[in-house]
Amino acid sequence: MSLEEEINKRRTFGIISHPDAGKTTLTEKLLLFGGAIQSAGAVKSNKIKKAATSDFMEIEKQRGISVATSVMAFNYKDTKINILDTPGHKDFAEDTYRTLTAVDSVIMVIDCANGVEAQTKKLMEVCRMRNTPVIVFINKMDREGQDAFDLLDEIENTLDIKVRPLSWPIGIGATFKGVYNMHEKHLNLFDSNKTKIEQDIVSIKNLDDPALTDKIGEQAADKLREDVELIEGVYDEFDEEKYKSGEIAPVFFGSALNNFGVQELLDTFIKIAPFPRSRETNVKVVNPTDKDFSGFIFKIHANLDPKHRDRIAFLRICSGKFERNKFYQHVRIDKKVRFNNPTSFMAQDKSVIDEAFPGDVIGLYDTGNFKIGDTLTEGENMEFQGIPSFSPEIFKELINKDPMKTKQLEKGIQQLTDEGVAQLFIQQPGNRKIVGTVGELQFEVIQYRLKHEYGASAEFQPKNFHKACWMTSDNDEKIDEFARRKAQYIAKDKDDNYVFLAQTAFLLQSAEADYPEITFHTTSEFKRAIA
Ligand code: G4P
């Protein structure tokens, strides 16, 4: 098969949702359709527990599980589908944001009763940053929920994206009868059944077809005709190009738990979802069809076995063909590296692969050479953009409790932050280590792992910072001047950039007012963009 054919058959995407909306259930149903798993429950039993937990066994288990389920690949109707898992727990949000840099599109699951929720909004913001195409799946239609029109309005208003329903629900909760597929003009009748894959699809010629009334009754048929007329009048025709540029999101209704609406979602997905897209580097745009291989690391996971310090780095292939045992350029450290057991993840199985293509995600065993955002190429000196760090929300200073283990602590915190568990900022004088995260759980994870994997004892002292801001200016002297004046609130990030640790929103505003020449950013993405 030619490189182009390999690329065209791949779809790499993430499922995102606020916890509990049904992401795990939908993932599992998609895997069932793809024949990648045989029974419902296979993914579920592995799912990351959502409650914040101090049970360290649980944390360990989660790390292992998320390696296993980070990528799930399966074949469906000649398409190779790669689902990248995004942790549901909000404390792992940054991990999710980074994973989204490696997908070409997303499916967003929304609970029909809760509508748009806090995590949904944040995730959508990340999708907007790179115009990632979004398909919306409104889930749990078998339960009482909000009116479908209200839900669509809420999505448009709070997520700032246009929507276009492609299916329409008939009733909801107790009165839910099924959905009408507006594109294919057929009825899909609901039958509560959690394991069945085939569904009863009734084709009708049009909404005046007597078969409609026969199947769903007079009242429901009238309501459906009215709704569809309204939709056709209010919403523009579905425009695939606008979906691909992230301007409009097609919407489906269903019930993942009951396997309902999942197949039409999947069938539409493989028809419209973009295949591997071009990506920007600091020197040029890389097209997947470019002959030379390139890719970037978006996630790093420590291995489960603490006795072996090796890690798995997840590489998204962006162009060309990746081959086992071939030497590639590790751009940041300017070294040739090769991999003799690169791994692919077909559903639950890991296996060593000889080659992989754009859109694929493979696992590379790493002994500490990789950081998130690293680029591999066939020799070219370029780096992929847009693996951002976001400002953490909680800051704490790492205090060494065992001076005999200083070296271990230094190494441990460095490696854990390379993995992206948290961000490390170094403050002077005294090389003070400020650790920033998006959730409390991370501090527990770090403390535990420093002890068990590096033998270092540490504790955390809360720091009262509101945001970490990266700075840019046309005049670098201004940044230096600012750094001198505000020395006690300045730190350096992993790439040696100055970061302003603003104590309050007010102090950040005053800094902006006092230093109009400096732009303060709460994500680090701009750095590569201006490089
Ligand atoms: P998440 O990954 O987005 O966090 O959500 P998950 O799939 O775990 O689903 C959260 C809960 O919602 C689960 O119930 C799941 O069974 C239920 N659910 C998912 N899809 C549907 C649906 O279409 N209809 C209904 N009625 N429920 C749905 P749980 O009680 O938390 O877990 P479990 O005891 O079922 O495992």
Contact 417 CB / ligand 1 (< 6 Å): no
Q: Quote the pLDDT of residue 181.
A: 87
**CATH classification of 394-530 is 3.40.50.2300, yes or no?**
no
Residue of 257, 259, 260, 262 to test ligand 1 pocket, by largest number of atoms within 8 Å of CB = 257
Q: Quote the pLDDT of residue 527.
A: 45
Nearest CA to ligand 1 atom 25: 140
Question: For residues 465 and 395, is the Cβ–Cβ distance under 8 A?
Answer: yes
Ligand 1 center to 24 CA (angstroms): 8
Which of these CATH numbers, 3.40.50.300, 3.40.190.10, 3.40.640.10, 3.40.50.720, describes 3-272? Answer: 3.40.50.300
Per-residue 3-state assignment (H helix, E strand, C coil) for 215-262: HHCHHHHHHHHHHHHHHHHHCCCCCHHHHHCCCEEEEEECECCCCECH
Q: Quote the pLDDT of residue 330.
A: 96
Q: Tell me the pTM.
A: 0.83
Would you kindly state where each structural domain of the chain is located, as residue ranges? 3-272, 279-377, 394-530
Nearest CA to ligand 1 atom 15: 22
Ligand 1 center to 368 CA (angstroms): 38
Task: List own/partner pairs for 227-233 with CB under 8 A and 24 or more apart.
Answer: 227/148, 227/149, 227/168, 228/168, 228/180, 228/182, 230/149, 231/165, 231/168, 231/182
In angstroms, the CA 148 to CA 179 distance is 12
∠ at Cα 182 (181, 184), nearest 5°? 70
Ligand 1 center to 41 CA (angstroms): 11
Helix (H) or strand (E) holding 499: strand 498-502
Q: Give the pLDDT of the chain (531 residues) as one tens digit per residue.
A: 899 999 999 999 999 988 889 988 898 888 888 776 665 554 544 444 443 334 445 555 555 555 555 788 888 889 999 999 877 666 666 777 888 889 999 999 999 999 999 888 888 888 888 899 999 999 999 999 999 999 999 999 999 899 999 999 998 888 888 888 887 778 888 766 555 555 566 777 788 888 888 888 888 899 999 999 999 899 988 999 999 999 999 999 999 988 888 888 999 999 999 999 999 999 999 999 999 999 999 988 875 555 666 788 999 999 999 999 999 999 999 999 999 999 887 655 668 889 999 999 999 988 888 888 899 999 999 999 866 677 888 999 999 999 999 999 999 998 888 877 789 999 988 889 999 987 787 898 889 889 988 899 999 999 999 999 999 899 989 999 999 999 999 999 888 889 999 999 999 999 999 999 999 988 766 544 333
In angstroms, the CA 380 to CA 444 distance is 40
In angstroms, the CA 468 to CA 524 distance is 10
In angstroms, the CA 458 to CA 239 distance is 55
Q: Quote the pLDDT of residue 258.
A: 86
Ligand 1 center to 193 CA (angstroms): 14
Contact 88 CB / ligand 1 (< 6 Å): yes
Shortest CA distance to 390 belongs to which of 528, 525, 261, 220?
525
**CATH classification of 279-377 is 3.40.50.300, yes or no?**
yes
Same fold, 279-377 and 394-530: no
